[in-house]
Amino acid sequence: MVSDRWINAQTLLPVSFRHLILPDKYPPHTELLDLQPLPLTALRCPDAEKLYAAQGLKVFNPIQTQTFSMLYSSNDNCLVCAPAASGKIICAEFAVLKMLTSDDPVKRCVYVAPHASTAKERFNEWSFKFGKSMGFRVSELVGETTSDVKILEDSHIVITTPEKWDLMSRRWKTRKSVQEVRLFVVDELHLLDSDVGPTLEAVVSRMRYISVQVQQPIRIVALAASLANAKDVGEWIGAGSNGLFNFSPNVRTVPLELVIQGFDIHHRSTRLLAMSRPVYQSIKQFSPEKPVIVFVPDRKQARMTAIDLLLHAASDDKPKRFLHVGDDAMRPHLAAAREKSLKQTLESFGETRHRCWTVSHPVKS
């Protein structure tokens, strides 16, 4: 050990690693097998087949094919970890269809999404799929206990958030409808380390506890992004080795190319200023025509970055590089823009190089 403040202040201490106990290494990711894609007829349910056929599906993708047997042909707990846009929701729908088509007279599924926006999106989608198309009752909890108890009793599929289900399930001993849940679907379980993580962890653990206390199996199906400790999470929700699918982040239906460019400038404003030109060059190189999303720290930086990109386009003598519509199509958007900087930026797309400079100058000064 050497001090970084005092000259010749150092010491040497030998440490033996002979009896060092290391943690177990995480198991490798689940290998994506080269399987024949399953056709829709594997569902053996004409209504469900028509449902997916109407969406333009002819076969299920590789991840859905590999998880199909465990999700649709068994009642075991499952954890499916895969990158975004891998079709994990359809994997969860396999388990929902399994429950809805079972011989059990009680058919009740609870879907928990970490955020209200995700829950609303799923409610709209499943209301059409399982409600309008297949005739089952799909509802969303409102957060008021008396109404939610009635909703849960009268519904086959209930969409909710961790906070609302926490309020509903706390008094599970006096609420038979909570005890009669047969399928518990948890989406985006990788958000356990976020703000909603403690509540999400509490409701999942409570559902496992309820299952043991009432001696009635409650199937838990969890969806998440690719995890490093998927085995620990799988053991927590009660998923065995056969029900654990942790696919690599590289396993994507849409290939992803990752390019990292580092900046060693410590001053924040200077670093962000130095990054504008590389961002513009990256857009030209990797996506000259297709849409691009640029993430920035705050609203002020968003304005400055937009102006910088316009300036770089003007310096290439292509001030309309990012404009792919006519002036007539822009007019209603300009009229609807209430924020002054946004309106000036949109106007700059169709203006001259001189106009871009006059817009950017007062913002930067």
Q: Give residue-wise pLDDT tens across range 152-189.
A: 999 999 999 999 999 999 999 999 999 999 999 999 99
What CATH homologous superfamily does 40-246 map to?
P-loop containing nucleotide triphosphate hydrolases (3.40.50.300)
Is the pLDDT confidence value at 269 over 90? no
For 32-51, write each residue's pLDDT tens digit: 999 999 999 999 999 899 98
60: number of CA atoms within 13 Å, CB side? 23
Is the pLDDT confidence value at 206 over 90? yes
What pLDDT is attached to residue 250?
Answer: 86
List, as one string, the DSSP characters of 132-193. ITT---EEE--S-HHHHHHHHHH-SEEEE-HHHHHHHHTTGGG-HHHHT--EEEE--GGGGG
Domain boundaries, the chain: 40-246, 268-364
C-alpha 245: how far from its chain's center? 17
41 versus 323: which is more confidently predicted?
A: 41
- Which range is least confidently modeled, 6-20, 136-150, 294-308, 323-337? 323-337
Is the pLDDT confidence value at 356 over 50? no
Encoded tokens for 112: 């928990």
What pLDDT is attached to residue 233?
Answer: 94
170 versus 254: which is more confidently predicted?
A: 170
Is the pLDDT confidence value at 355 over 50? no
* Of the options 3.30.465.10, 2.40.50.140, 3.40.50.300, 2.40.30.10, the CATH number for the domain spanning 268-364: 3.40.50.300
For 78-118, write each residue's pLDDT tens digit: 999 999 888 999 999 999 999 999 988 889 999 999 999 99
What pLDDT is attached to residue 348?
Answer: 65
What pLDDT is attached to residue 329?
Answer: 79
Average per-residue pLDDT for the chain: 88
**Residues above pLDDT 70, as percent of the chain:** 95
CB atoms within 10 A of CB 95: 26
CA–CA distances in Å: residue 93 to residues 100, 157, 215, 238, 287: 10, 11, 25, 20, 34
Cβ atoms of 222 and 89 within 8 Å: the answer is: no
Same fold, 40-246 and 268-364: yes
CB atoms within 10 A of CB 120: 14
C-alpha 68: how far from its chain's center? 21
Under the banding of pLDDT at 50, 70 and 90, the label for residue 365 is: very low
C-alpha 163: how far from its chain's center? 18
For 277-318, write each residue's pLDDT tens digit: 999 999 999 888 888 899 998 888 888 898 888 888 888 887
Question: Once rounded to an integer, what is the mean pLDDT over residues 142-147?
Answer: 91
Closest CA to 213 of 188, 179, 260: 179
**Phi, psi (5° rounding) for residue 219?**
-75, 130
CA–CA distances in Å: residue 62 to residues 66, 278, 299, 306: 6, 37, 40, 39
* CA-based torsion, 113, 117, 121, 124: positive or negative: positive
Under the banding of pLDDT at 50, 70 and 90, the label for residue 364 is: very low
What pLDDT is attached to residue 350?
Answer: 52
d(C-alpha 244, C-alpha 339), whole Å: 49
List, as one string, the DSSP characters of 78-139. EEEE--TTS-HHHHHHHHHHHHHTSS-S---EEEE-SSHHHHHHHHHHHIIIIIITT---EE
For 54-78, write each residue's pLDDT tens digit: 888 999 999 999 999 999 999 999 9
10: number of CA atoms within 13 Å, CB side? 6
Is the pLDDT confidence value at 248 over 50? yes
Cβ atoms of 83 and 63 within 8 Å: the answer is: no
